[in-house]
Amino acid sequence: MSAAMDSRQKSVIRSTRTELLSTGVYEVGGAYEWVHSLGVGAPIPFSSLPISIDPAPGADLLVVGIGGDRHRSYSTPAGSTVFDLITAGVPANLRAAGRAWGTALSVLHENASLIDFPGSTPRTVQRAEVWLGGAWEPAREVLGDPGLQEIRRWIKRVLSGPRQVIAHGYPGMAHWVVTPDGATGSLLTGEDVGFAHPEYDIAWVLGEMAELHAFHPVLRPALEILRAGFLETCGKAPGPSEIGPALAFRIAQHAYDWHHYAGAGEAQAKALLHLAGWYLASPAADTTPEMR
């Protein structure tokens, strides 16, 4: 088949771009190719850790990307994002989508290993070091030194505890893609991997859901179904004494990324940081405050 013919059969169905990450989605012969590229402002390249996934039930939910430290491509039957699913207004099996999401993470944690390379921390932790260290003034202002210290304490625990596994690093809605009915999906894996406790990944997903729950009340019924399914299969979530800083980390990281790479103003970033602060002050909370 010629390159020209192959090009005609490959149609673009989605394209998004920030200074951190660019995403293109292409339909190819009834399947989909997701292509991620480093944005022009990305501070570090994709992870170079080569991983393998042992055969196991649910391993087909994991799709390890092909490419180098600036581009990754993923072939999958899933052409929608989870956000598409919860905002579409059409029937979809959100509980099944959540269960498959949790299963994909659990399979990764139980069955992934490195191929002849030393481990490192997840790429998202590496990117967070600048604001965790107090170099970003809005985080210092809103969370204060005690708040930043509490998040750093949680990060240290999940990076140095006795159970260290291959963590996805960024297992949220940018990397969990689904079929339109929500029946199954693919966790696009490899760009951010590193060693951490499984709670790191679980908290990342729960933090993203908590943020949407706080700022988008209309989505709460769908999010609650999705979250319930996820918690059934993902493994042990952070306990009451850890959930506050765990969710605060994910929310504060998004505040930093949104402000630095996606055009958010300081006021918008601070709105997210105040939500992170609410979780630090309410460590046992499993819901979010009403945003008025």
**Residue range 171-209, pLDDT digits in tens:** 999 999 999 888 899 999 999 999 999 999 999 999 999
What is the model's pLDDT at position 286? Answer: 57
At 90 the pLDDT is 65
CB atoms within 10 A of CB 235: 16
The tokens for 221 are 């019924």
Q: pTM here?
A: 0.94
Cα–Cα distance between 116 and 128 in angstroms, integer? 27
Residue range 230-234: average pLDDT?
A: 98
For residues 136 and 256, the answer to whether their CB atoms sit within 8 Å is: yes
Burial of 132 per CB tally in 10 Å (0-12, 13-18, 19+): buried
Return the SS3 of 253. Answer: helix
- The DSSP secondary structure of 47-82, one letter per residue, reads P---EEE---TTGGGEEE-EE-SSEEEEEES--EEH
Q: Is the pLDDT of residue 237 over 60?
A: yes
Residue 284 has pLDDT above 80, yes or no: no
Q: What pLDDT digit, counting tens, does each position of 78-122 carry?
A: 999 999 989 887 667 999 999 999 999 999 999 999 988 888 999
% of the chain at pLDDT higher than 90: 83
pLDDT at site 30 = 85
Buried-state track 178-187, b at ≥16 Cβ within 10 A, e below 16: bbeebebbbb
What's the confidence (pLDDT) of residue 162?
A: 86
For 44, residues 6+ apart whose C-beta sits below 8 A from its C-beta are 123, 126, 127
Q: Report whether 273 contacts 255 (CB < 8 A).
A: yes
Q: What is the mean pLDDT of the chain?
A: 92
Q: In degrees, to the nearest 5, what angle opens at C-alpha 205 toward C-alphas 141 and 36?
A: 95
**Residue 174: closest CA among 12, 49, 17, 11:** 17
Please give the average per-residue pLDDT across 253-269, as a whole number.
98
